[in-house]
Amino acid sequence: MSLTKLVSEESSVTLDSLKSQGFLIERETFIDTPRVPSDITSLGEEELMELFTHLTSYLAFINTQLACAEIDELNTKKQLDYEMGVLTLSLTTGSDAEKITVARLKVATDPKIVEIEAEHMKRTSYTKLVSMMYDNVNKDLALVSRELTRRTAGESYKTRKKSFNL
């Protein structure tokens, strides 16, 4: 199964630029979301290393998605700020505070602004969810890494103990 995320034009341009410079960017993954069992000690050596490898690959994919989401979110915010500025300037004719307040209200209810704000909210929500996924997978990866270290440290201790026993 291939898991891909379609990104907006802004982040696609950035990804293409990086690719042209020779950087390998994870745009898709062919593995399901790796799951850490509730009892990690029940995994054998090969299963544990396979889980570690899958988590590492999956984390790279999610990290790319997070960067793209952040780029897309920033670009939408920039577009929103620009459109609001242009519309506010076109609606204000003097320095009267009441006119500025009315202009801001008109800007906030303008259909184009409402549409861009909705898109910005979608992108912000997506960014937050991908960030949460990144954190969760990173924690799983740390757990698996600790288990690998525990196992290899235990073997190292046993080997050292045998070496120095008379």
Q: Which residues of 76-99 are buried (b: 16+ CB within 10 A; e: fewer)?
A: beeebeebbeebbeebbeeeeeee
Locate 61 and state its tokens: 């994919």
**Each residue's pLDDT tens digit, 98-113:** 677 788 888 888 999 9
Which pLDDT does position 39 carry in this prediction?
94
* 114/80 Cα distance (integer angstroms): 9
**Each residue's pLDDT tens digit, 17-65:** 888 888 877 777 777 889 999 999 999 999 999 999 999 989 988 988 8
Which pLDDT does position 36 carry in this prediction?
94
Q: How confident is the model at residue 1 (pLDDT cuts 50, 70, 90)?
A: very low
Q: How confident is the model at residue 4 (pLDDT cuts 50, 70, 90)?
A: low
Q: Which of 21-30, 141-150, 157-166 has the highest mean pLDDT?
A: 141-150
113, 81 contact by CB (below 8 A): no
Q: Which of 4-8, 47-51, 150-154 has the highest mean pLDDT?
A: 47-51
Which pLDDT does position 56 carry in this prediction?
93
Residues with Cβ < 8 Å from 107, sequence gap 6 or more? 84, 87, 88, 91, 113
Which pLDDT does position 74 carry in this prediction?
92
Which pLDDT does position 33 carry in this prediction?
86
